[in-house]
Amino acid sequence: MNPQISIASGMTIGYPRRRLRGEKSTLRLAKAEDTIQLEAGRHLLLARNGRGKTTLLKTLAGLIPAVDGKFDVAGRVQYIDEELRFDPELTSKQIFKAFFTNGLLEKALGFADRLELDVKKQYGKLSKGNRQKVTLILAETKACEKPGQVLLLDEPFSGLDFHVRDEVDGMWRENSDGVVRLVCVHPDEPTLQAESAVVINDGRIDQLEVEGALDWFETRKSLN
């Protein structure tokens, strides 16, 4: 399967009116004016806070409905955010063993070594950055299981230092075939490699072509 994300012109994200809460109208955050097509590779999701980045990711993951219009996600979808939690008494190694066996377990432990994660330490005693590493390792190991993966990542670099970010970038480049990554990026990321960028600005969802890398510092100046 060739994974892809297709957003039809007119697809609108937001939150439908909830009558029991006395809401008078549907909240519409942003609308795709043109068709957006994301093929295998890395695509950045850029917008100011409160403009709908997380809402778009959750909509594509099927966690909330689109307000209007249609979209299609072909592939095995993973939505990855920092709210994922595990039993605080478990070690990272025990968590990985619960999900993977044999070669995939070894791959997960190899990723942990690259990201300098102490797999013998209890999850509840890990820092925010190290808990983020556990989540990223789980997602990346699942993506290695078979092609046809769609990863929706909500600020995956939160709490990570630059060395670890570089290692994550390397892992993504090594496992780029048959994987679509839509990566919500915080403004403290200056320059990132990508095939394209999805930008939410002035209530519109648009796709920008990227030649190799996108300078987020420059792009954010135009966002409202």
CATH of the domain at 39: 3.40.50.300
Residue in this structure with the two tokens 């399967």, named with its chain if needed:
1
- In this prediction the pTM is 0.90
CA–CA dist 182, 37 (Å, integer): 12
Q: In terms of residue numbers, what domain contains 201?
A: 4-222
Radius of gyration, alpha carbons of the chain? 18
What pLDDT, on a 0 to 100 scale, did the predictor assign at position 23?
58
CA–CA dist 124, 49 (Å, integer): 29
List 204's β-bridge partners, or say none: 31, 201
pLDDT averaged over consecutive 10-residue blocks of the chain (224 residues)?
A: 94 78 76 96 90 95 95 95 87 96 94 96 94 94 90 89 90 91 78 86 92 69 70
Domain count for the chain, please give it.
Answer: 1
- Contact in structure between 218 and 189 (CB atoms under 8 Å): no
Q: Which of 216, 198, 215 is nearest to 207 (CA)?
A: 198
- Contact in structure between 210 and 41 (CB atoms under 8 Å): no
